[in-house]
Structure 1
């Protein structure tokens, strides 16, 4: 099968397309034919070698944690899935070695959920990692409920655009920050858009004069520096960017696999309350170009790799 791998740390330039054997399977695993895989900023982080002191990388490494695909084979000790089932998955191991930038992968059933029936392969592939991050931030860390006014920094990004929709589904009023070019997109999600920059505080105060009840930072780059000026008394603040030092009491959100949360994302999608915006789709052999777009930081929603080769 084809896979995208890197033999050393670096940027998109270290990726190469190679032929590798099909994945082996233990008795409690399933073999998934990957239809689409999503890119995440973590791919670039681990590929750069920055977290090498914390996580082992067993070269060659195939990056990627997100997938949407079809189960081809199930182990003899596996229950809950059968060949032909369409699934999504968050497939991550303790070490960086096998990933989803590939045509196939073996996975644990607990890492998978059924694919939302109303999402395309590309949309479904973008749901697990970004969706779990957004859901766990909005629901578990910030405990957003009906009537809250929520501010999402980076509302047009992969996690941000899902966080906006999840907060709205919980009955919150949402304000989303973004660039001038992203204002229309943020509004299409159901949020009130505001622009980054010197006018942000004034814009937010005008929209929410009583202050913001919950703030989620998905953008970093000093986004929480305005918190004192816009937060209501007792506001809850969370960040997925390790920016807790910018505002006392900020909760750092760390993604973790939770089957119930993943199933709830599927339900929200099928209820029409959550969709994944796909910025661009690349064939598998253009993974380096896809990573270059991701590194630019201007994509709306998700960047996807399809299980095909450019002819």
Structure 2
């Protein structure tokens, strides 16, 4: 082949590649625009606003680190952190424990497994909705289903969501009830464990508990770790349940004042959007720290079958 022919072929190849590149960027354009306009833009804007005094009605004024210094003496912020951490520490393990137990039962095989799986998954789809939160408020109200059931056995119920001692736990119960999503993930993980392990253990005389403890749990630890990380992140961002059940106040006596609810109150209730933006970035840091701790601790208990 002559030199001129080779040059023409190279030019044609570059032209084809550039045309392909333009087509690729054309298909990626909606995603790139969405990333910049809908995700990256608001993130950068909120970071800038966190260093300002901004009330949504006037132009923001730069105040530096004053919003972050204010957090050190904000008692309601500290209380909302305690409430949220309590919700996470109690709600996530209980939810995952129930999800794993149901997944193990479903994994044994039964008729209509797909139906049971779908029905049990529904709470995860509906649990964060306003309608379910309203229903939950009715169930745990003074004249609700819980107190009516207790009255049949001679127990006088209380206002579960109007009593500061129990209001938070009623929301935790709602969180535990939404076990469907982690249950489906657990069930998928259980289906991946080779049955030969259980057959060998049975030959050696191992019972169900020993098989579960020494085979199922170790091989399921990557799935457990995945669910723990996802559910902790989700629990820290919980908002709808507390907002609806408490009427948007975090009551009674701030017993259900979740961090996100306090952030919403500051930003849209008191129009202190600069401080609310700073709170949002603090929440990001808190979630990042918890996630980093989980990844660090995972190397001591998560087993990967290579």
Q: TM-score, normalised by structure 2?
A: 0.27
| Structure (1 or 2) with the greater strand fraction | 1
Where relative contact order (Cα < 8 A, 6+ residues apart) is larger, the structure is 2
Q: TM-score, normalised by structure 1?
A: 0.26
From the CA coordinates, give the structure whose radius of gyration is larger: 2
| Structure (1 or 2) with the greater helix fraction | 2
